Amino acid sequence: MAPRTRDHRSSQALEPVSPAGVTSMGWFVPSSVFDAGARKTTVRLVTFAAYLVCILACTCGTDTGDTASVDTGSGDTGTTDTDTDTDTDTGGGHGDADGDGYPNSIDCNDDDPDVFPGAPELCNGIDDDCDGLIDEDAADTITLYADVDGDGYGDIDAPIETCETTLPGYTDNSDDCEDADAAINPGQPEIDCDWIDNDCDSVVDLGLSVPGTWPTVQGALDGAADGDVVCVETGLWSELLNLGDPRHITLVGEGEGLTVLDAGSLALHVQVSNGATLTMQSMTVQGGGGATGAAFGVTSAALELSSVEITGLSCTGTGSCLGLVTYCNGADVVFDDVWIHGIAASSVGHMGGLFDNVTVGSTWNLTDVTIEDVALVGGGNGIYGGLLPWCQIAGCSLTIDGANIFDNQLEGAVVYPALGWVLQSDWTDTAVFDNDILATDSAMLTGIGTGGGTMQRVEFVANTVNSGGTIWGV
């Protein structure tokens, strides 16, 4: 509202009026403008207002750019533009050519109505909001996700907002559930018994399993088809197992110490025979104490162990103890990454050691095997075989690659030999150290059978052989 004023010659308040041509000027005249006593004052005010309007119109007018109406500077003192340019007269830096409401003194692009201070910043490569920055905090960014493993699937926990549609190391989806492993993403098939959600569907698909498909491990051995892989979940499975027909069954646990097969009694734990092949992975086998085999009995069959722990074996009976780990007859045995430890056994008769064979030749392939903390005491004639296989018949062979044998103790009248004796033996990258061999008659640390064999990069360090009789050489 326009301010009110008072005529110094009259006590009557002056009211705002809007004479023609000065409606925006806010001039005031008395309400009795046509009274005779105020005529002179009114005329003076109106005349002065008209004068100011004329001045302002000449200085603040806008050049329309129409050259036909431009003053040529001939001395005409009219109210038209007196310059000869064809540009907009900015009126001293306050023009707004693009009509966006911001004068060019603060508008960083007065030719674009979408550019002005406070405009939304967009991903367009220009400074929309006139803050000197380009595309910062843009309103139309897209979200990309880190793809560390490069499999085309991104990590939902590693998003960025960007104006770029593609960036190295990023992708436009967040579907990866394990961005450190390119083999895990929604495009991968599920792998049985790896205990991983391979296809990122939030489900670990096990396939055949215990207890999912069968309630017991023996139930799986009975019901699985040739070639089946059966997942055995974490737990203590107290069973004696038997696979006695020509099928190949694979049992896969969740890991050593997690999936535990326990004999639950002093008997042979696992029997494999009649052309069967049993593969066991990622589990612990403990207990068992049969006189002819405590852990595994393998007859005309194959046994394959990988990432398996064997522990807690014992020996029962009043006679001999033969083959605590494997008792074989025509067997093919493969151990890969097997840990044998914590075994303490004694026998009334002689001790057949950890690996023994009967009448038909067997083969043992031991890779990355550790044998430690084993204490064997042999009665009668002592220990035959000791820590490694004993087989002096045709067809027997032993291959050792990367074994560590240490901190074991063998005691008996005879320890012959402490590290087995197979007609054909080949040793590679193996260390034998800190073992104690106590014999009252004779002892043999190791031997290579008469069929021949080789030793490459094999070390024997700090082993103690204490014998009251003959010590057979290495």
pLDDT tens digits for 260-318? Answer: 999 876 688 999 999 999 999 999 999 888 777 789 999 999 999 999 999 999 886 66
Q: What's the CA angle centered on 28, arms 22 and 30, to 5 degrees?
A: 130
What are 36-93's pLDDT values in tens digits?
444 444 434 434 444 444 444 444 444 444 443 334 444 444 444 444 444 444 444 5
Q: List, for residues 88-115, the tens digit of each pLDDT value.
A: 444 445 789 989 899 999 999 999 999 9
Strands of 287-435, DSSP E: 296-299, 302-311, 326-329, 332-346, 355-357, 363-378, 390-391, 397-401, 404-406, 409-415, 421-422, 424-433
Residue 88 CB contacts under 8 Å (≥ 6 apart), including other chains: 62, 63, 65, 95, 97
- Which residues on adjacent β-strands are paired with residue 292? 322
Q: What are phi and psi of 59, to 5 degrees?
A: -100, -20
Amino acid at 443: A
Q: What are the helix (H) ranges across 318-442? A: none
Low-confidence ranges of the chain (pLDDT < 50): 1-92
Retrieve residue 235's tokens: 């737990």
What pLDDT is recorded for position 36? 42
3-state secondary structure of 144: strand
Which residue is it, tokens 């990367």? Answer: 402
pLDDT value at position 474? 53
Q: Are strands 28-30 and 13-16 parallel, antiparallel or unpaired?
A: antiparallel
Q: Going by C-beta distance under 8 Å and a sequence separation of 6 or more, which residues neighbour residue 17?
A: 27, 28, 29, 33
> What backbone torsions phi and psi does residue 93 show, to the nearest 5 degrees?
90, 20
Per DSSP, 351 falls in state: B
Residue type, 356: D
Between CA 412 and CA 467 the distance in angstroms is 10
pTM score, two decimals? 0.69
What the block records as the tokens of 312 is: 């807690």
User: β-strands 270-273, 296-299: how paired?
Assistant: parallel
User: What is the rounded CA–CA span in Å between residue 208 and residue 184?
Assistant: 21
- Per the CB < 8 A criterion, the answer to whether 179 and 152 are in contact is no
DSSP per-residue string spanning 199-212: TSSS----SSEETT
